[in-house]
Every structure is written in structure tokens, then in C-alpha cells.
């Protein structure tokens, strides 16, 4: 795989998950996840996804060289999430990071763009379940791994106030 | 020290050589019931052969982690997900459950269900049995649970009282290692010996439990003219906590656990597998039993038939099929001979084996009176973030409605507060993730906020409702339904009586009151297409099974109305014991394992007494058995 594609996949993943690049790299799975998306959807789809993402960022970037969150959100919705081919793949990338599971793409997608054996629902590795970001988002451990320690459950959860209801910002990435 | 078997313990017995030995006792099943009896007989110097249907490997760190790895990699994380599929010793799986059309049994999975009510009840056929995946909640039964017929005109009375069983409860709590505090567990007539302490201190309630308790403690409930106040109470748990003086916790299999002492770490994965063996499983007792060189174990040995002497009605041998490999149907027929025989295979497999052997009992009660718990779930969102999905699967609940005069009219229940949110009811949190992303268009910060809002506020109450004995609820066999090895499969006929459904309906009303008191949004909605959908009084409910199998060889004081006596000894076959949940005349509102353990400790004493009383040589008269031989013990 080419290094720029990996860098862009990582950048896309940061925007899709709201976890920092170091968090994503810290899972040790970023390369495997990109490979998984390639196996499941094909090189062409991955290239198109990253192209659309690059275009969305460019569209949202102002004179200061940084993307404006509201404009980026709109550009992602228009160019990626609402796209017949790219939308389901982007949503799958989010779920891959959060759950550690590659979910089978919907039949309307495979009907149009082809079904590959690797596209079926599967865990990528035993570690991917344990590294699911979902658990970190809710300040819990993946059941069966990364135990927090005896009695920890009696304490309040350590959830950043920005993610608690009515206490964060408006929410968009 | 972490739990492991003496090296080679599972391979040291050659099945062919074992066939030439008359053991003091042959035990079918390497779960908690068989393990406890084997350990006590072995300690008394008796020779024992355990037949285990699943593969028998020495319990080691590596082997246990194989289960864990299979769990991590599984896309469906149901309660059998860590355990390999084995067509030669198949097991029911929760995901097998299907709606049953009247008159058409569902035979698509191992457990054939003829309905009318479908259940997702399961058990695990591996060494250690269902204690591998159990949640390990260990409440004692209430004194009134032993006399429900006399007190309430419901179910059957036990031939034992709470006082009779109490010393064995003490012993069982120490055998399996229970964490609880006496002051929390003394209620509704449950009393402890003076000065009694549980082996380990009670596990702390979860933050979620405490949040519920803030509003629920003191909530008044009036039932049949009696007012009571609810409170959130910790459950006793068979998992390692902080030991009380004099008790050394057993188990802990990871090297890390060895260093920190084997305490529960809050993995929130009791079901289907504790990753660090802080939770009790029968391997812990087996590892002790196998210390005795006279305790033998043969795996991949599926009992096929119980042979009985036609004159004496004593059991002469157990014929079993020993398969070469889990994925091959090739097997050899072997036999196990003993002075006494113990069926410890569980409340479905015990009657299955008896009935497949043509031994329904002269009163026809073998397999009848099948019981389980009927679970009703109710789920809501709390007004504030509770940090759901932390802790053991369940640390606390509401137990005030386990007993009382209302049981003359409706079923009692206990209530679990689930630390794993809506997982059981609706597959949370993965379903919430999929919904937020796919339907909600969430990503990034908005997704993180949505997850906290949707998942970390979840409260699920599980009402564990009693099901009284009913002879029509039963396990049968039919030669038309067999497994890969030619063993007849169990057929379950099961329905829920109105008595239970009245308890269910009351539970749902109570859940609404509790949610209102908490200011929680009730999200409970029962799906009419759900396989366990049951309608009562014009309302529909989703009912799930509890895997708390009981009743199929009920104990009693009269041979005409029961299968075994108070020692779990068969009335008809004087050298046969049928042990486990099947002996229980009521399930009431206790998870069954602690009571099974207590009953088996009691039976172990009776078995030892019988072995000593029958020390004279036995005459073997069955046609396919050679002449009587002196007892040989292979060391």
C-alpha cells in the first residue's frame, strides 16, 4: 500500500471517529483496517473514497489553511455520506473502528458494485474487538478484556463532559 | 497458584483398560455436580471414573486462553461463543430459538422443541459444563421455597428443609468461593449460623446500582394486603473478591492474576467467559478431584445407554460411545462398570439418557416437571449518565418479592439490575452503534456524544420469574431424532402456566412504576415476532429462558410421586444417583447452581455411606457382562 493512501486513510478516520491520530495508531490496527477495506471493497472504491475526502477537506479549508468544521461536515455529507457507492463504505469504516467488526455491506451496494468474499461480516483479528473505540467512548472496557480493576465499577464513569448530554458543543465533526 | 490439572490427568486413563475395572463410582458428566461428588469420593480414597462428553484436555493457561481467543474472534458473542462446535456432543445455543408453529416441532437444532412455547435455554457440553459460561450469581433458596405446596398450594414440597440443607450451603459457598456479606443476605427468612462469614467480602454495588438505589430504596409496594419497601441489595457471587480471614481464593489463570491475587477485575464478561478465572467454574473442583490418582477421567465419551439388571434393577454398566475426533463420526463402543453410578449430566441430559435407555420409571416421571426461569426484561434510559457497561454482569438487584403470601396467586421473582445495559434485550451497545451510524448519520464528535447519551444511560431490569413444576412440561426422546453419534436428542415440550404469567404481568407493571420513580424513559417494547412472545391478559411479552434447568427427576419422600429420594438416589435403581437441578422440586427465585452444589455435597456423604454399607462383592448378572470380578483399581 502507498504511504500517502495510508496517511489519508488515517486523516479520514480521525474525522470520522473523533479520536486522535495517536489513539488510532495506538490500536496497532490502522494498516490492517485499510487493508480490510481494500479487500472488502476493492482498490478503486478506496481510491474514490480518499479522493472524495480530499476534495471535501479542500472545499472546507479557508484562507487560514484549516478546515472549518461546519463546512467540512457539509462537504462530507454531500461528497461522501450521501454518495451511493462511498456512503455505505464510510459508515462501515466508522463501525470498523468502533466495533472492530467489518459489517457486511448492504445488498443494494453489493448488487451494484460487486460482492467479494472479504466483504462479509467478520472480525479482522481477535485484537480488533479489544481495540474497538466504542468502549473508550463510553468509558468502559471491551467485555472480556482490558479490565479496569476490582471495584472500579462503583466509581462514576470517566466521561469527558463534552460528550455528556447537553454539555458539549453542537456535535458535528 | 492458578488452576491447572495434574499434568496428564485427562490422558492417564485408557478407556479400554478402564472397562475391566469395577470402579466404586462411575459419574456421567464433568460439570459442577460430577466434579463435587468426584472430589469428595476421591478424597475418601474411592475409585471414580468420570465420563465427559466434551473433549477432555488438561486445564491449562494455554487451553483456557484458546476459549478466550475464540470469544474475541467471534462475530456473535452469545453464551456459547467461546466453545467449539462439536457435532458429537452438540449443545443448544440461544441463537437456535425459533417460533414454533403449532403441531410442528422445531428440530433445526440439537434440542428439538415441540412447544408450544419456544425457549432459548442452553447448556454447555465441555469439561466444566455450564459453569464455564454461567453468570455465577449464588443466592440461597428461601426457607419457604422448600414448602410451596403446603404454604401456597403451588408446585411440590421438598423432602428437605432449609435447615437440612443449610450446612451444605455453607460448604458449597466455600467450595465454589462466594463473595457476599451475611447482613445483606439475611432476608425473607434466610438465616445463617451464628458467626458465619462468607469466604470473601461482598462485591461492591455498581455506580449504576447506586443510582437506582437512590430512588428505589424505600419504594412502597403492596401485594395481597402486605406493604413492603423495596431496596437494592447486592447479590452473592461466585467470583473472587477480598478474602475474609482464613480463606484462600482459588483460581486465576493468567500470569497477571497470579501476581495480583485472582480477584474479579470487572471484565464485565462473566457470561460467556471470565478471562481471568476469577469466576468459579467446575474445573477448579476437578483440578482438586484429579489430585487423587484414583479419580479417572475419560473425555469424548458420550453416554449411550444405562444397563440395568432385570432382576435386581441395579445398574450394571454404562455403555458409551467414544469418538475419535470432534469432527469425525467414528467412535468405539466402550463400557464403564461400577458399584454405584451417578448421572450428573444436567436436567435435560440426565432424563434424555434414562429415557433413551428405556428407563422412564414405573411412575413415568423421568423427564417430567421440567423447569427453568422465565425472564422478562424491561429497559429504559436514566435521566443521567450512569456509566453502564462496567462491573460484573450484575452486582445488585431487588429481591424483596422473592417470597410472601402472594405466591398463592402469582409467581415470585427476583430482579437483576444489568450492568451490561440493554445487551440481552436489544444487543446493545453494538446495535446502538449501528443505529446511530447507519440511520442517525452520526460520525465524529456527534457519534461520541450520541453513544454516551444512548448507551451510558441504559438501565435494564431482568425479572427472573418462577415456573412451578408441571408434569406436562417435559423432556422426551424419539428414535426419529438422533445426533451424529446415534444418540437420541432431547425433545422439549414446554409451556408457561398462568401462575407464571401473572407474575410476568405484575413484573411489567412494577417496572413501569420503578422507571417513573427514577424519572427514566421507558423504552420497553415487546416484538410480536419474537420467538418467545407470550400473550397474557391481552398484553404481549417477550419471555426468555434462564438456563436454570430443573425438575426432570424430582426428589420426594414418596416413590410414587418422585424419581429420587432426598439423597438424589433413584427409588428404582438402588445403586443409581441422578444428581443436579433435575432433583429440585421447585426452582423458585434462586439461580440453581449453588443449590445443586449443596445437594451434591449432601449426596456425596450418602454415596460414601452406601459404598461402605455395600462393601460385600457385587454379583453381576446381566447377560453381556462377564462374571463378577474382584474390584481392580488401576493406579
Do the chains contact at A163 and B205, CB–CB below 8 Å?
no
pLDDT of residue B401: 98
- Which residues make beta-bridge pairs with B306? B318
What's the CATH code of the domain at B480? 3.50.50.60
How distant, in Å, are the alpha carbons of A40, A93, A121, B102 from that of A103? Answer: 10, 9, 4, 36
A71-80, B111-120, B346-355 — which is least confidently predicted? B111-120
Residue B20 falls inside a structural domain: yes
Do the chains contact at B205 and A154, CB–CB below 8 Å?
yes
pLDDT grade for B240, boundaries at 50, 70 and 90: very high
What's the rounded mean pLDDT across residues B252-261? 50
Task: Say if CB A134 and CB A56 are below 8 A apart.
Answer: no
pLDDT at B145 over 50: yes
**In whole angstroms, what is the distance from residue A129 CA to residue A143 CA?**
9
Q: Which helix (H) or strand (E) holds B150?
A: helix B148-152
Average pLDDT, chain A: 92
**In whole angstroms, what is the distance from residue B339 CA to residue B616 CA?**
10
B226 Cβ under 8 Å from any chain A Cβ: no
pLDDT of residue B7: 86
Task: Say if CB B500 and CB B466 are below 8 A apart.
Answer: yes
**In whole angstroms, what is the distance from residue B175 CA to residue B159 CA?**
24
Domain membership of residue B609 as a residue range: 15-90+101-203+248-371+467-496+550-613
% of chain B at pLDDT higher than 70: 95
- Residue B460's nearest CA partner among B412, B511, B387 is B511
pLDDT of residue A4: 86
B389 Cβ under 8 Å from any chain A Cβ: yes
pLDDT of residue A2: 55
The Cα of B453 is separated from the nearest Cα of chain A by a number of Å equal to: 6
pLDDT of residue B605: 98
Taking CA atoms, what residue in A is nearest to B210?
A154
Task: Say if CB B88 and CB B326 are below 8 A apart.
Answer: yes
Coil vs helix vs strand at B223: strand
As given in the structure block, the three cell numbers for residue A113 are 458494485
Q: In chain B, how many domains are there?
A: 1
B437 Cβ under 8 Å from any chain A Cβ: yes
pLDDT at B576 over 70: yes
Buried b / exposed e along B442-455 (16+ C-beta atoms within 10 A): bbbbbbbbbbbbbb
How distant, in Å, are the alpha carbons of A109, B307, B490 from that of B478? Answer: 46, 19, 8
pLDDT of residue A93: 98
pLDDT at B38 over 90: yes
pLDDT of residue A65: 87
Q: Could you give the maximum distance between any two Cα atoms of chain B, in Å?
A: 79
The beta-carbon neighbor of A95 closest among B72, B419, B434 is B434
The Cα of A43 is separated from the nearest Cα of chain B by a number of Å equal to: 23
Over the stretch B62-105, which tens digit does the pLDDT of each residue have? 778 888 888 988 888 888 899 889 999 999 988 888 998 888 89
H helical segments located in B21-129: 32-43, 61-73
Contacts of B388 in chain A (CB under 8 A): 138, 140
CA A105 to mean position of chain CA atoms: 15
B241 Cβ under 8 Å from any chain A Cβ: yes
What's the rounded mean pLDDT across residues B31-38? 98
pLDDT of residue A61: 94
Over the stretch B429-454, which tens digit does the pLDDT of each residue have? 999 999 999 999 999 999 999 999 99
CA B629 to mean position of chain CA atoms: 38
Cell 416413590: give the residue. Answer: B559
What's the rounded mean pLDDT across residues B110-136? 93
CA B324 to mean position of chain CA atoms: 28
A96-100, B516-520, B618-622 — which is least confidently predicted? B618-622
The length of chain B is 635
Cell 452469545: give the residue. Answer: B78
Instruction: With a threshold of 0.90, tell me whether the complex ipTM lies above it.
Output: yes
pLDDT at B34 over 70: yes
The beta-carbon neighbor of A129 closest among B72, B242, B265 is B72
Contacts of A140 in chain B (CB under 8 A): 268, 387-390
pLDDT of residue B618: 54
Task: Say if CB B363 and CB B112 are below 8 A apart.
Answer: no
B23-32, B222-231, B483-492, B608-617 — which is least confidently predicted? B608-617
Q: Which helix (H) or strand (E) holds B9?
A: none
Task: Say if CB B127 and CB B118 are below 8 A apart.
Answer: no
* Window A:107-166, CB contacts with B under 8 Å: 121-123, 125-127, 129-130, 134-135, 137-141, 143-145, 147-157, 159, 162-165
A57-66, B541-550, B585-594 — which is least confidently predicted? A57-66
pLDDT grade for B634, boundaries at 50, 70 and 90: very low
Over the stretch A55-103, which tens digit does the pLDDT of each residue have? 999 999 988 888 999 999 999 999 999 999 999 999 999 999 999 999 9
**In whole angstroms, what is the distance from residue B277 CA to residue B60 CA?**
11
Do the chains contact at A145 and B390, CB–CB below 8 Å?
no
Prior bond of B429 cis (ω within 30°) = yes
pLDDT grade for B252, boundaries at 50, 70 and 90: low
Q: Pick from B390, B427, B435 the residue to mutate for testing the A interface (most A CBs within 10 Å).
A: B390
Do the chains contact at B445 and A173, CB–CB below 8 Å?
yes
- The domain spans of chain A are 3-163
pLDDT of residue A166: 56
- Which residues make beta-bridge pairs with A155? none
Residue B116 falls inside a structural domain: yes
Do the chains contact at B73 and A95, CB–CB below 8 Å?
no
Prior bond of A15 cis (ω within 30°) = no
pLDDT at B632 over 50: no
* Window A:13-72, CB contacts with B under 8 Å: 15-18
**In whole angstroms, what is the distance from residue A72 CA to residue A59 CA?**
8
What's the rounded mean pLDDT across residues B188-208? 97
pLDDT at B57 over 90: no
- Residue B550's nearest CA partner among B355, B372, B360 is B372
Task: Say if CB B595 and CB B140 are below 8 A apart.
Answer: yes
Q: B107: how many CB neighbours lie within 10 A of its CB?
A: 15
pLDDT at B350 over 70: yes
Do the chains contact at B267 and A18, CB–CB below 8 Å?
no
pLDDT grade for B621, boundaries at 50, 70 and 90: low
Taking CA atoms, what residue in B is nearest to A167?
B449
**In whole angstroms, what is the distance from residue B355 CA to residue B306 CA?**
9
pLDDT of residue B275: 85
B446 Cβ under 8 Å from any chain A Cβ: yes
Q: Pick from A103, A138, A169 the residue to mutate for testing the B interface (most B CBs within 10 Å).
A: A138
The beta-carbon neighbor of A126 closest among B72, B449, B450 is B72
pLDDT grade for B619, boundaries at 50, 70 and 90: low
Contacts of A168 in chain B (CB under 8 A): 445, 449
The Cα of A139 is separated from the nearest Cα of chain B by a number of Å equal to: 7
Over the stretch B372-391, which tens digit does the pLDDT of each residue have? 999 999 999 999 999 999 99
How distant, in Å, are the alpha carbons of A11, A34, B360 from that of A43? Answer: 18, 10, 64
pLDDT at B255 over 80: no
Average pLDDT, chain B: 93
B404: phi then psi, degrees, rounded to nearest 5 = 145, 170
- Residues in chain A predicted with pLDDT less than 50, given as ranges, are 1, 167-173
Q: A159: how many CB neighbours lie within 10 A of its CB?
A: 19
Amino acid at each position: 500500500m502507498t504511504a500517502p493512501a495510508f496517511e489519508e486513510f488515517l486523516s479520514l478516520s480521525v474525522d470520522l471517529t473523533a479520536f486522535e491520530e495517536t489513539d488510532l495508531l495506538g490500536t496497532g490496527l490502522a494498516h490492517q483496517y485499510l487493508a480490510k477495506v481494500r479487500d472488502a471493497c476493492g482498490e478503486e472504491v478506496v481510491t474514490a473514497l480518499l479522493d472524495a475526502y480530499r476534495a471535501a477537506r479542500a472545499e472546507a479549508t479557508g484562507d487560514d489553511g484549516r478546515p472549518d468544521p461546519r463546512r467540512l461536515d457539509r462537504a462530507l455529507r454531500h461528497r461522501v455520506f450521501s454518495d451511493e457507492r462511498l456512503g455505505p463504505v464510510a459508515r462501515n469504516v466508522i463501525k470498523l473502528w468502533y466495533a472492530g467488526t467489518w459489517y457486511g455491506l448492504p445488498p443494494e451496494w453489493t448488487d451494484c458494485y460487486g460482492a467479494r468474499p472479504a466483504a462479509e461480516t467478520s472480525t479482522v483479528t481477535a485484537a480488533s474487538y479489544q481495540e474497538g473505540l466504542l468502549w473508550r467512548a463510553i468509558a468502559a472496557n471491551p467485555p472480556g478484556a482490558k479490565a479496569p480493576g476490582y471495584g472500579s465499577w462503583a466509581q462514576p464513569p470517566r466521561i469527558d463532559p463534552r460528550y455528556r448530554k447537553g454539555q458539549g458543543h453542537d456535535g458535528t465533526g | 497458584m492458578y488452576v491447572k490439572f495434574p499434568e496428564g490427568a485427562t490422558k492417564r486413563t485408557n478407556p479400554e483398560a478402564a472397562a475391566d475395572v469395577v470402579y466404586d463410582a462411575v459419574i456421567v458428566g464433568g460439570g459442577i455436580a460430577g466434579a463435587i461428588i468426584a472430589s469428595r469420593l476421591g478424597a475418601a480414597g474411592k475409585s471414580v471414573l468420570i465420563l465427559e462428553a466434551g473433549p477432555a484436555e488438561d486445564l491449562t493457561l494455554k487451553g483456557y486462553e484458546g476459549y478466550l481467543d475464540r470469544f474475541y474472534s467471534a462475530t456473535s458473542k452469545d453464551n456459547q461463543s467461546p466453545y467449539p462446535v462439536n457435532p458429537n456432543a452438540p449443545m443448544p445455543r440461544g441463537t437456535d430459538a425459533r417460533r414454533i408453529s403449532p403441531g410442528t416441532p422445531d428440530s433445526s437444532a440439537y434440542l428439538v422443541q415441540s412447544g408450544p412455547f419456544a425457549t432459548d435455554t442452553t447448556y454447555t457440553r465441555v469439561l466444566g459444563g455450564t459453569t464455564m459460561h454461567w453468570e455465577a450469581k449464588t443466592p440461597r433458596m428461601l426457607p419457604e421455597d422448600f414448602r410451596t405446596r403446603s404454604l401456597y398450594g403451588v408446585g411440590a414440597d421438598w423432602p428437605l428443609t432449609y435447615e437440612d440443607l443449610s450446612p451444605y450451603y455453607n460448604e458449597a459457598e466455600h467450595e465454589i468461593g462466594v463473595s457476599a456479606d451475611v447482613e445483606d443476605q439475611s432476608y425473607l427468612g434466610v438465616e445463617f449460623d451464628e458467626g458465619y462469614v462468607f469466604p470473601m467480602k461482598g462485591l461492591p454495588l455498581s455506580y449504576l446500582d447506586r443510582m437506582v438505589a437512590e430512588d428505589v430504596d424505600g419504594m412502597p409496594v403492596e401485594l395481597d394486603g402486605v406493604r413492603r419497601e423495596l431496596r437494592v441489595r447486592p447479590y452473592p457471587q461466585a467470583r473472587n473478591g477480598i478474602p475474609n480471614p482464613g480463606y484462600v481464593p482459588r483460581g486465576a489463570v493468567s500470569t497477571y492474576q497470579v501476581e495480583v491475587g485472582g480477584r474479579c477485575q470487572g471484565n464485565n464478561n462473566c457470561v460467556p467467559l471470565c478471562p481471568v478465572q476469577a469466576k468459579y467454574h467446575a474445573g477448579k473442583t476437578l483440578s482438586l478431584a484429579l489430585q487423587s490418582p484414583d479419580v479417572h477421567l475419560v473425555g469424548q465419551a458420550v453416554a449411550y445407554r444405562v444397563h440395568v439388571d432385570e432382576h435386581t434393577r441395579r445398574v450394571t454398566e454404562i455403555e458409551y460411545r467414544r469418538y475419535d475426533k470432534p469432527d469425525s463420526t467414528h467412535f468405539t463402543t466402550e463400557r464403564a462398570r461400577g458399584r454405584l453410578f451417578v448421572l450428573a449430566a444436567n436436567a435435560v441430559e440426565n432424563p434424555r439418557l434414562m429415557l433413551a435407555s428405556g428407563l422412564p420409571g414405573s411412575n413415568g416421571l423421568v423427564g417430567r416437571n421440567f423447569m427453568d426461569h422465565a425472564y422478562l426484561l424491561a429497559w429504559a434510559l436514566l435521566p443521567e449518565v450512569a456509566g453502564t457497561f462496567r462491573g460484573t454482569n450484575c452486582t445488585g438487584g431487588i429481591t424483596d418479592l422473592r417470597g410472601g403470601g402472594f405466591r398463592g396467586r402469582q409467581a415470585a421473582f427476583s430482579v437483576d439490575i444489568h450492568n451490561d445495559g440493554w445487551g440481552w434485550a436489544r444487543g446493545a451497545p453494538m446495535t446502538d452503534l449501528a443505529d446511530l451510524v447507519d440511520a442517525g448519520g452520526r460520525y465524529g464528535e456527534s457519534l461520541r456524544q450520541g453513544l454516551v447519551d444512548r448507551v451510558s444511560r441504559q438501565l435494564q431490569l431482568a425479572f427472573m420469574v418462577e415456573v412451578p413444576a408441571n408434569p406436562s412440561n417435559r423432556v422426551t426422546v424419539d428414535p426419529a431424532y438422533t445426533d451424529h453419534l446415534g444418540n437420541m436428542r432431547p425433545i422439549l415440550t414446554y409451556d408457561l402456566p398462568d401462575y407464571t404469567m401473572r407474575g410476568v404481568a405484575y413484573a411489567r407493571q412494577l417496572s413501569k412504576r420503578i422507571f417513573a420513580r427514577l424519572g427514566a424513559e421507558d423504552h420497553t417494547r415487546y416484538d410480536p415476532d419474537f420467538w418467545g412472545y407470550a400473550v397474557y391478559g391481552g398484553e404481549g411479552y417477550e419471555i426468555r429462558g434462564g438456563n436454570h434447568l430443573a425438575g426432570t427427576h424430582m426428589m420426594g419422600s414418596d416413590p410414587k410421586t418422585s424419581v429420587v429420594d432426598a439423597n438424589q438416589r433413584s427409588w428404582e435403581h438402588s445403586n443409581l444417583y441422578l444428581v443436579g437441578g433435575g432433583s429440585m422440586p421447585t426452582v423458585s427465585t434462586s439461580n440453581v447452581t449453588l443449590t445443586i452444589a449443596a445437594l451434591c455435597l449432601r449426596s456425596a456423604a450418602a454415596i460414601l455411606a452406601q459404598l461402605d454399607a455395600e462393601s460385600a462383592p457385587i454379583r453381576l448378572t446381566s447377560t453381556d457382562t462377564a462374571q463378577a470380578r474382584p474390584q481392580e483399581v488401576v493406579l
